[in-house]
Every structure is written in C-alpha cells, then in structure tokens.
Structure 1
Amino acid sequence: MSVQERRAVSARRESLLGDEPGAFAVARFVRVTPMKARRVVDLVRGMGVDDALATLKFAPQAAAATVYKVVDSAAANAEGTEHLSRADLVVVKAYVDEGPTLKRHRPRAQGRATRIDKRTSHITVVVGPRADEEPAKKADGKKAADKKGRTR
C-alpha cells in the first residue's frame, strides 16, 4: 500500500496530523495513572526526538520507561513509513488520555471494604519534521503593520 493510500485509509492519522508529514504511536491500557504519565509527557513535548529520549532515559518517574518506548516507536514509524530523518524529528503532540479503571476492594475494619481504583492510560505521541521558522518575515510583517497604523 502506498503512502497516499494509507493516508486516505487512516482516519486516526488524519485527525492527528492532517496532510502534514509525520507519524504517531499509541500505547493503550498502560497501568499507570494518567496524572503521573502527564507529568512525564509534559517534559518532552516540543523537544527533538533524540533530546526527548535522553531526557526520558534518566527521568526518575516510572512512567518514563513507557513514554520512552512510545516516542521511540513514533520515531521509527516516521523513519519507516514517511522516510523522514530521525535527527530532524520533533515531538509535535504528546498527550495522555484516561483508560478504563480496574476496580478492586480491600478489606477494612469491622467487616467493611473500600474500593481501590487501579487506573490505566492511553499515551499518544506524534512526531513530525522540525518546522523552520523564519523570524525575518514575521518581523517584516509587524513593521509594515506598524507603519500603516501610524498617523502623523
């Protein structure tokens, strides 16, 4: 299947990337709470892939190992399917959704029981090529707008 055909087929890719080049990876039903996973994902959002992997490798949080695998997988998907260079990839989007909660009970005093919620997460990472910003054009546009707005 060609890249164009695959893009037409995948609604998930369309919602995450649109027509832009890039790739994504998802880890579903990960046994880590979404709040703890979001702390780790917030560290790497917007970083280059190599920098993100280096950060995750030495992060003390337990969720860092899973996020490391997802970022690495997304980068491998971009290399394999989109033929993008790993050095130019950036973590464009990264977010954590809540998965199903496993409900367990713990015996307590006087015959009571309390519920223990074992939460799960769905971790999504989208990587894309580094966007080359051109500050000169933006600055020129601002200067032109300032000159038009001034009256003497």
Structure 2
Amino acid sequence: MKARRVVDLVRGKRVEDALAILKFAPQAASEPVAKVVASAAANAENNLGLNPSTLVISTAYVDEGATMKRFQPRAQGRAFRIRKRTSHITIEVESIPAAGGAATRNRRKGGAK
C-alpha cells in the first residue's frame, strides 16, 4: 500500500474536503486513510466536543508497520520470499476557530491502521 502518497493529498486540508478527495482518489490506500480521518474527526467531536465543520488535519504521517513474511513455491524446489508490508497511519486534527477568534489549538489523535 502506498499510503504516503495518499496522506500527502490531504495534509493541511479541512476534514470535509479531505474526505471528499479521498472518496474519489483512485489509489487503493485511500479507503483506509479515509477511515482514519473519519475516526479522528469523530473522536474530536465526541471526546473533546469540537465542531466537526471547523476541523483541519494538522498532522498526518505514515510509519512502517509489521512485515509478514511468506514463501511462494517456485520451480525445481526453490522458494521465493514474499513480504506483505503493513503501515501505521496517524492523523491529528485541530479545530480552527472562526475568523477573528482567539488562537487556541485543540488536538485529537487518530488511530493506526
């Protein structure tokens, strides 16, 4: 999964805009990234009481996860190693107040995978 390319598309954008971008992105990694963005927004709304229309993706990055190693049988008794790679997706959202408001920062972390 090339999740870093997808996360680069939504970094710094409003949550509503990011979900719209991810909905129509052709990459396979856009679905799990959209789930993490939606989860981070829901956590900010339910746990911190933030307005979902003011949420902006402040920090977004992808780290390497566990690698599952498998073998594929080949000709003449050989075996090739297959690496099934995973990744940890982290999304942080913060609330941007309306124009002219005080500059306060509220952060909420999203989950991994």
Name the TM tier (shorter chain): 0.7 to 0.9
**Correspondence for 1:58 among 15, 21, 24:** 24
Which residue is 2:91 aligned to?
Answer: 125
Which residue is 2:51 aligned to?
Answer: 85
In structure 2, the gaps of 5 or more residues are: 101-113
Give aligned pairs, total.
100
TM-aligned CA deviation for residue 93 of structure 1: 0.6
Identical amino acids, percent of aligned pairs: 64
CA RMSD across the alignment: 1.7
TM-aligned CA deviation for residue 130 of structure 1: 2.1
Residues 109 and 89 of structure 1: CA distance in aligned 2, closer, same or farther (over 3 Å) = same
Can you list the C-alpha shifts for 1:5-55, whole angstroms capped at 9, x where unaligned? xxxxxxxxxxxxxxxxxxxxxxxxxxxx3xx01111110000000000000
Structure 2 counterparts to residues 4-83 of structure 1, below 5 A = 33=1, 36-83=2-49
Distance of 2:75 and 2:25 partners within structure 1: 39
Q: Which of the pair has more CA radius of gyration? A: 1
Which residue is 2:62 aligned to?
Answer: 96
Which residue is 2:82 aligned to?
Answer: 116
Which residue is 1:107 aligned to?
Answer: 73
Higher relative strand content: 2
Can you list the C-alpha shifts for 1:31-90, whole angstroms capped at 9, x where unaligned? xx3xx0111111000000000000000001111111111100100111111111111110
Higher relative helix content: 1
In structure 1, the gaps of 5 or more residues are: 1-32, 135-152
Regions of 4+ moved over 6 Å: 131-134
Distance of 2:97 and 2:81 partners within structure 1: 48
* TM score, norm. by length of structure 2: 0.82
* Structure 2 letter corresponding to 1:74: A
* TM score, norm. by length of structure 1: 0.62
